């Protein structure tokens, strides 16, 4: 790290751009199959339950491998782990095009989920090392905005590729994009900001702060951290973090899995219209991620109260989504329904900044593992969501899945209000 002048450099914001691009690719790769689902279902004769199982295969693997992914990020560092993770899941993305039936789709999507599982926990560890506490909500909001942007641009991109070449080429192209990012990451990222040529001492001071002697505070890192698993599993706050995120991710996967099919099969839109309309709630989520991250950091700076700053934004987001998603399911006009779903997507995503700041607030040097446990629990909800949706639709109701989601949103808000505490460490 060069000494530089007293004026801080901007190295951490270049790193934020790289991480944000990775987040965009994760969601582009995981939701491309949702837009292609009507075409795939028609070619292979899949019913709603079968498609629900295919959607869920990814999420089960994604949930189960969160904790191993976070642990490896803590142990081996984000540089090597994210290079390996993104390269592997890009192979699985491309292999999706070779699926020949329901079983092979389930197997490939499961293996794809294994690869993507470690991405966010490892990236959270990278962000903890590169950003000050007062920037954590913002950087989590920005990166998750990028992920939702990936989901939002997926429908028009996938429709265009399918129209021009066919559905298999969607997965080949997306896989190639992932390989390109992995190469760039390995070349330009370093595990600690002091190892990077773009970071001077002044910027490092703004990231870490200084002690009474004027020395930059040391990073919270060990060469081979031994995770206190028993302590984590006994922590009530750890369970609160996990349960709250379960409620959020269950609702998110309605937008990530079934929305295009819902708009085509129930609301009567054409595939070309869905290419645009299915993107609207996800574009709204892009804005919601950033707004939520900025709001929670602003409240933290104004009040110095992490509990208020994290809770207020998360509860507002969950209850706002609930207030919009119920009428979206019940109204008759399809365009009004899309508008309400768009508002739902905005409010739901306002919770991301505070939710992902909490593992950094409470996890210390084990933040990768804590965020992995949170995301594991959340994606058990994400795995159940497409299954429950498909079963309820197969039984004859397109409204019931949204009502179930609304109930979970209220439960999630109650957990944030009465149980989850950002001020309580999960490792003490």
CATH number at residue 235: 1.20.1250.20
Q: Determine, yes or no, domain membership for 224.
A: no
The per-residue pLDDT of the chain, averaged, comes to: 89
Is 221 a residue whose pLDDT tops 70? no
Side-chain-side CA neighbours of 353 within 13 Å: the count stands at 39
φ/ψ of residue 225, rounded to 5: -65, 135
Is 301 a residue whose pLDDT tops 70? yes
How many residues are present in the chain?
A: 428
- 3-state SS record for 181-250: HHHHHHHHCCCCHHHCCCCCHHHHHHHHCECCCCCECCCCCCCCCCCCHHHHHHCHHHHHHHHHHHHHHH
Buried b (16+ CB within 10 A) or exposed e, 352-364: bbbbbbbbbbbbb
CA distance 277 to 191: 40
Q: Determine, yes or no, domain membership for 143.
A: yes
Most trustworthy range by pLDDT among 92-96, 155-159, 303-307:
92-96
The CA distances from residue 152 to 42, 53, 229, 278, 342, in Å, are: 24, 23, 37, 8, 11
The mean per-residue pLDDT over the stretch 68-72 comes to 79
Out of 114-118, 232-236, 364-368, least confident range: 364-368
Q: Determine, yes or no, domain membership for 212.
A: no
Closest CA to 426 of 166, 162, 240: 240
Out of 24-28, 224-228, 258-262, least confident range: 224-228
216, β-bridge pairs: 210
pLDDT in the model for residue 169 = 96
pLDDT in the model for residue 393 = 92
Closest CA to 42 of 305, 275, 325, 271: 271
With bands split at pLDDT 50, 70 and 90, how would you rate the model's confidence at 6? low
Q: Determine, yes or no, domain membership for 220.
A: no
Tell me which residue range forms the domain holding 129.
11-207+231-418
Is 94 a residue whose pLDDT tops 90? yes
- Token pair for 98: 């070779």
210, β-bridge pairs: 216
Residue with tokens 């002690």: 211
pTM over 0.75: yes
Specify the 3-state DSSP secondary structure of 209. Answer: coil
The mean per-residue pLDDT over the stretch 310-335 comes to 96
The mean per-residue pLDDT over the stretch 93-118 comes to 93
Q: Determine, yes or no, domain membership for 4.
A: no
Q: Determine, yes or no, domain membership for 203.
A: yes
Side-chain-side CA neighbours of 123 within 13 Å: the count stands at 30
pLDDT in the model for residue 130 = 87
Is 223 a residue whose pLDDT tops 70? no
Q: Determine, yes or no, domain membership for 354.
A: yes
CA distance 138 to 140: 5
Is 31 a residue whose pLDDT tops 90? no
Is 56 a residue whose pLDDT tops 80? yes
With bands split at pLDDT 50, 70 and 90, how would you rate the model's confidence at 225? low
With bands split at pLDDT 50, 70 and 90, how would you rate the model's confidence at 4? very low
Is 69 a residue whose pLDDT tops 80? no
Check: CB of residue 228 under 8 Å from CB of residue 366: yes
The CA distances from residue 155 to 152, 174, 269, 422, in Å, are: 7, 13, 14, 36
Q: For residue 300, give the H/E element and its range.
A: helix 280-303
CA distance 76 to 305: 33
Number of domains making up the chain? 1
Q: How large a percentage of the chain has pLDDT more than 70?
A: 97
With bands split at pLDDT 50, 70 and 90, how would you rate the model's confidence at 315? very high
Q: Determine, yes or no, domain membership for 67.
A: yes
Residue with tokens 């409620």: 247
CA distance 357 to 350: 12
The mean per-residue pLDDT over the stretch 36-42 comes to 91
Is 3 a residue whose pLDDT tops 60? no
Specify the 3-state DSSP secondary structure of 216. Answer: strand
């Amino acid at each position: 790290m060069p000494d530089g002048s007293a004026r801080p450099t901007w190295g951490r914001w270049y790193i934020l751009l790289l991480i944000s691009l990775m987040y965009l690719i994760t969601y582009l790769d995981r939701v491309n199959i949702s837009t292609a689902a009507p075409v795939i279902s028609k070619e292979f004769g899949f019913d709603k339950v079968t498609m629900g199982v295919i959607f869920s295969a990814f999420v089960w693997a994604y949930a189960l491998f969160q904790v191993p992914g976070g642990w490896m990020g803590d142990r081996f560092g984000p540089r090597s782990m994210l290079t390996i993770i993104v390269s592997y899941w890009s192979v699985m993305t491309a292999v999706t095009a070779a699926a020949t039936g329901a079983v092979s789709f389930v197997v490939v999507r499961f293996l794809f989920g294994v690869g993507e599982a470690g991405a966010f926990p490892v990236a959270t560890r990278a962000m903890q090392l590169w950003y000050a506490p007062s920037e954590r909500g913002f950087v989590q909001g920005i990166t998750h905005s990028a992920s939702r942007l990936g989901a939002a641009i997926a429908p028009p991109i996938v429709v265009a590729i399918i129209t021009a070449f066919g559905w298999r080429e969607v997965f080949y192209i997306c896989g190639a994009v992932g390989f390109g990012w992995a190469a760039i990451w390995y070349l330009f990222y370093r595990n600690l900001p002091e190892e990077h040529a773009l970071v001077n001492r002044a910027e490092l001071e703004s990231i870490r702060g200084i002690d009474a002697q004027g020395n930059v505070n040391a990073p919270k890192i060990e060469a081979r951290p031994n995770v206190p698993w028993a302590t984590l599993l006994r922590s009530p706050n750890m369970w609160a973090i996990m349960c709250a995120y379960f409620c959020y991710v269950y609702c998110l996967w309605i937008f990530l899995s079934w929305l295009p099919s819902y708009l085509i099969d129930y609301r009567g839109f054409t595939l070309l219209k869905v290419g645009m309309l299915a993107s609207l709630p996800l574009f709204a989520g892009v804005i919601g991620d950033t707004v939520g991250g900025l709001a929670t950091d602003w409240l933290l700076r104004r009040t110095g109260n992490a509990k208020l700053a994290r809770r207020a934004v998360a509860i507002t987001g969950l209850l706002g989504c609930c207030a919009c998603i119920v009428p979206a399911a019940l109204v008759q006009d399809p365009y009004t329904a899309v508008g309400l779903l768009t508002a739902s997507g905005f409010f739901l995503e306002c919770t991301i900044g505070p939710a992902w700041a909490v593992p950094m607030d409470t996890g210390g040097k084990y933040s990768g593992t804590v965020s992995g446990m949170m995301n594991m629990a959340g994606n058990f909800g994400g795995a159940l969501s497409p299954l429950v949706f498909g079963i309820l639709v197969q039984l004859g109701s397109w409204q019931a899945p949204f009502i179930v989601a609304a109930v979970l949103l209220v439960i999630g808000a109650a957990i944030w209000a009465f149980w989850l505490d950002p001020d309580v460490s999960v490792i003490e």
